[in-house]
Amino acid sequence: MTKQGFDILILSNGPGEVTTWVRPVVKALRQKLGDDRSVVRISVVLSPCPNATGKEAAIALSYPEVDRVQGAEHFWQFLLWGKTYENWDWRSRGVVVFLGGDQIFPVVIGKKLGYRTVVYAEWEARWHNWIDRFGVMKATVIKNASAKYAHKFTIVGDLMLEAAEMPITSSLQTELIGLLPGSKAAKLAQGVPLTLAIAEYIHAKRPQTKFVIPLAPTLDLQTLASFADPQKNPFAKTFGFNGASLIVPKEGTQNPRLKTEKGLTIELWQETPAYQLLSQCCICLTTVGANTAELGALGVPMIVLLPTQQLDAMRSWDGLPGLLANLPGVGSTFAKAINWLVLRRKGLLAWPNIWAKEEIVPELVGKLQASEVGEMVLDWLDHPQKLDEMRAKLQSVRGESGAASKIAQIVCEEIE
């Protein structure tokens, strides 16, 4: 590797991309290129994302491999004029690595900086003539590319699998069910009481089963617990759930827990990303959204829950529908109309189903009751071959592991 210093600029956007794509790639880059900042400097620039929480920049900056981060609020200035908010300097040689956002961004920024461009393409690769290299998840991403650009493509596998490769030690038992009620208030209001009520129903008939909630990095314990409190979340009674209280042990003893009125304790897992933990789950109960993509990548069986007891509550759609549903004053009307249309459509909502173009994981939509969902889970636990079949289907629609190291190798080649 040349001794002349160079820059690596990572372009990313939402919380999922920052934790599941950026994290393993910057780690792999440092492993290949070393820690000498005078030789290799890694910068992260974030673009706006409808699912952003505002904490993405802080998360990226917490990675020891990263030298500097610019938040999404300053992105357009950088894209248009090539100037960062803090007026960063740029070395004469470098590579722009795309890990989330719009694939036109590395084209524009790469031209402005005079850098080579590398794009990680999960499902679709664009701008073949202007991007220097593509690392793609599966061979199907290449099928629409012209033969003259074939040399630009390398099959690297699935970045989401990186965090699942190392085992963890846990006090949790083997028969473990993960509860993923969401990270935003619109989903938590229904998701928390529904999943906890389902857990109580299952535990009453199968007391050996353990439950865990992996908290999103943007969600704190007190906020989660407030949605399990009928006094703060009156919607809890709709699912026949009587509430749960937060238990926070002394630091270093054990994880915090929720304890329901019926005596069930659910462990709360705050380490992120929680992929090693999720990989230990025999099944997960999740809402729609990025959770389904992450579970699918890990090959973890799931049931996707979309309760409709309160249509107005579901305001977490991406893009224009999400913007309309959250407009002041008229947002409630838009939310109800959008959700009514979505429910009429009855299309595929979970990411693994969208990828497979068929329902390989159940999507339960309607006025869901804990007993009905609980019976479905109990049936699967009694017939583990059903879980094995779903696991195999999930794995069949994803790529191979080892993607971060292969992307880092592509970057090294472009530097040379």
Mean pLDDT, the chain, rounded, equals: 86
The predicted-structure confidence for 372-396, as pLDDT tens digits, reads as follows 999 999 999 999 999 999 999 998 8
The string of pLDDT tens digits covering residues 143-188 is 878 888 989 999 998 887 765 554 444 444 479 999 999 888 878 9
- Evaluate whether residue 171 is within a structural domain: no
Taking the C-alpha atoms of residue 282 and residue 208, their distance in angstroms, rounded to an integer, is 13
Residue 11 lies in a domain: yes
pLDDT digits (tens, 9 = 90+) for 101-144: 999 999 999 999 999 999 999 888 999 999 999 999 888 888 87
Q: Quote the domain boundaries for residue 70.
A: 6-162+401-415
Tokens of 192: 């928390």
**295 & 326 share domain:** yes
Q: Which of 3-12, 91-100, 143-152 has the highest mean pLDDT?
A: 91-100
- The separation between the first and the last C-alpha atoms of the chain, rounded to the nearest angstrom, is 7
How many folded domains does the chain comprise?
A: 2
Tokens (6 digits) for 174: 């083997």
Confidence band of 1 (pLDDT split at 50, 70, 90): very low
Same domain, 368 and 271: yes
Element holding 302 (H helix, E strand): strand 302-307
User: Among 57, 95, 64, which residue's Cα sits nearest to residue 218?
Assistant: 57
Chain position carrying tokens 């006090």: 171
Q: pLDDT value at position 329?
A: 55
Residue 343 has a pLDDT of 56
Residue 282 lies in a domain: yes
415, pLDDT greater than 80: yes
